[in-house]
Copies of this chain bind each other. A is one copy, B any other.
């Protein structure tokens, strides 16, 4: 296995492992538990799950893997803070979106050739990318895995 292939495997394995861990946590929670605040006065579990789906949807654009699956989530789960008076998707809706999105991402990731991960992501210009080649698609996975882990450490508190 060449270095490129190896590195891509290491990064994608960590992404997949993070998804598996969060799925275990989610499966251990009832919808009622998921709707609770992770700590007094902090975000609800449903807000965090919606936030992760919205951020990963945005990632589809950055990776040039097509349109967002759930564009309606950006407003309530990225632009706005958690607000229990607003109508948002139910815990069951969010779980179903999360699963659908993960299957889709999995499929897209498997289609990628190792070298393709080192291409520029869509939010960086050709000019900047020439100077900053680390702003590639694989780096998006590295930073989004970090983000996913951060919020997984919060969702686990509901259990």
Contact = CB atoms under 8 A, between A and B. Distances in A.
A39 B147 CA distance: 20
Interface string A52-74: 00000000000000000000000
A140 B22 CA distance: 20
B151 A14 contact: no
A139 B10 contact: yes
Interface string A131-156: 00110101100110111011111100
Size category of the A interface is 20 to 34
Contact of A40 (B40, B147, B149): B40
A68 to B, nearest CB: 24
A147 B149 CA distance: 7
Contacts of A133: 1, 6
A10 B145 CA distance: 13
Contacts of A38: 39, 157
Given A10-B136, A40-B40, A152-B153, 11 more contacts: A3-B4, A6-B133, A7-B7, A10-B134, A18-B146, A39-B40, A39-B42, A150-B152, A150-B153, A151-B153, A154-B154
